[in-house]
Structure 1
């Protein structure tokens, strides 16, 4: 019995960490949408890849980021075709679209008319050289290197333009890998800061929550039921609203899960998702807020409170995917630990002795 209670408390606490992590993720998405981090990071990474470098001797190099953004293949990815600035820049560019746009700029004649120069290697190399002033030394030399690779691949019937496009896609993906790493580090930093803010604002004290779970079997059972529903989802992106939906007679306790948002309404969608996740935490039945737990005099109370808040904040900053995986494993352990009920032998026939 003791082991079962301890396991139930652990599942309930893990479920609280998961719900808090989802709220932090929603807050991070809201900040990313408000400040356009993805679009700005993509534009900065693109300039680093094809535009000007930071450093001496590069001031004369052209920045073709604007030309790429205004290319018909990429223009539809952002709202304002007349500008190539960060404010209207796309937050994602498919590698294939980037490669096709860059090669169209590099291999199309200077007057912008006619077919791409892609008949043979010599013509492709000469056409790229004529665009050096427009493309810049870095992009020109990179494309010429790719053309040399195509020339080395002398297999009969090789698709020269297709091979060149695949090399440009790989080059773009490598550059965007650095952009993703920058975004990931920023997101991790803000997740830690948001964890501190949410935990302190809602008074999500891990020690206090653990005591409530240990003393309230109804609360434990409620969280176990919600956790069981949550682990049936394939991933935490499905959120916990289905598991934490209040009874039909009290529909005002939760906000509905917002539908998938289009780009113009991404900020509003992120805000509604944050409201939903905070509402979900309030519905769990755990002690939340400072009204019934005001600060008390005494050093020990503050030590205990700060420790409990830090535990919740550090745990929630690990991220929803981490706690979702932990919840699935611990829930499986709990299900596997159940003893099967004894068989009903009240009506079973008794063995008859054989003949002597």
Structure 2
């Protein structure tokens, strides 16, 4: 029984480090593309009625919807949203440049929207005049809110904030689903690129108890560090916000460490690389001519069933979407079952 638990702990450790690598790459991509700000911009543009459902041929609709999911909204269609983002209340929420704020407080949004509607003349008469034409999508949305507020500008803003919060709940769901899909794609690409085949790994672990013992020792070390870090997180404050460039450099450094940790485990992963030997020419030719050869990448010995290999990659990719905390927590619970976990204080 303990032998099976040791193998499971070793495999979970691989999943934990692999998940850390996947999460690091995903966070790097998210920061470089400013995905949170892009999704927020799309949600607000949809709320203001500037992004209706795409029409036309199926391929064209798929392409446009895919670009929207990646946060690349056609600003020509989102004219009002662009004007809204130019309002000082929102524009000052993000650093100078093309970046967009990743979060806009409801009160700031409602005030900026009223200022945009009234051309910075936030009065009841100016709002009534701007909402006189009820044929536009935005006026259809805001007109009834203004009527229900009975010419009370503060009540009107509160109604805008309530609707904004409801839309932001949906936007949070969009971002979560897109993030999960992106994480799975990254995990599968890494599983294929590094040839991290879960089925093959388990098979090799059963044949190599020394490797399993080594991984269990490393898992115990990581588990203790994780518990200590969690305790430190509870007792310390994390309210300080770092600059975007510093955060990006920090993620790159952490990603480099995660790659090295994963690579230094000596796991049965990767590709078998062979270099064909070229036919030797004369001694003079060898000194004067460069010899070129190609590298051949093949599966590891024992990976004979391609379908089983693909299934192994899929299992690894799915494991990578669960995140490192999930696997480290599972390792801690397995150590408790095994009877060699962290001693009670």
**What is the TM-score normalised by the length of structure 2?**
0.67
Q: After the TM superposition, which residues 272-351 of structure 1 pair with which residues of structure 2 at under 5 Å, given as runs?
A: 272-290=253-271, 295=299, 300=304, 302=306, 305-335=309-339
**Higher gyration radius (CA):** 1
Q: After the TM superposition, which residues 1-356 of structure 1 pair with which residues of structure 2 at under 5 Å, given as runs?
A: 3-54=1-52, 63-80=79-96, 87-106=98-117, 112=120, 116-117=122-123, 124=124, 126-132=125-131, 137-151=136-150, 161-210=153-202, 211-212=204-205, 215-216=209-210, 217-234=213-230, 261-264=242-245, 267-290=248-271, 295=299, 300=304, 302=306, 305-335=309-339
RMSD: 4.0
Which ranges of structure 2 fall in alignment gaps of 5 or more residues? 55-76, 235-239, 274-296
Task: Label 1:287 to 1:54 Cα distance change in 2 as closer, same or farther (>3 A).
Answer: same
Q: Tell me the secondary structure at the aligned position of residue 300 of structure 1.
A: coil
Task: Label 1:129 to 1:55 Cα distance change in 2 as closer, same or farther (>3 A).
Answer: farther
For 1:307 and 1:55, locate their aligned partners in 2 and report how far apart those are by CA, in whole Å: 36
Which stretch of structure 1 is more off in the superposition, 217-226 or 283-292?
283-292
Instruction: Quote the offset at 1:96 in angstroms.
Output: 2.6
| More relative contact order, 1 or 2 (CA 8 Å, 6+ apart) | 2
Task: Label 1:234 to 1:140 Cα distance change in 2 as closer, same or farther (>3 A).
Answer: farther
Which ranges of structure 1 fall in alignment gaps of 5 or more residues? 82-86, 118-123, 153-159, 239-258, 341-356
CA contact under 8 A between 1:51 and 1:64: conserved in structure 2? no
Which stretch of structure 1 is more off in the superposition, 177-186 or 284-293?
284-293
Q: Tell me the secondary structure at the aligned position of residue 322 of structure 2.
A: coil
For 2:126 and 2:343, locate their aligned partners in 1 and report how far apart those are by CA, in whole Å: 76
Superposed CA offset, 1:303-342 (max 9, x none): 55444433322221333354344344434444599999xx
**What is the TM-score normalised by the length of structure 1?**
0.65
Superposed CA offset, 1:212-249 (max 9, x none): 376122332222222232244439x99xxxxxxxxxxx
Q: Tell me the secondary structure at the aligned position of residue 170 of structure 2.
A: helix
CA contact under 8 A between 1:199 and 1:313: conserved in structure 2? yes
Q: Tell me the secondary structure at the aligned position of residue 88 of structure 1.
A: coil
Instruction: Quote the offset at 1:23 in angstroms.
Output: 1.2
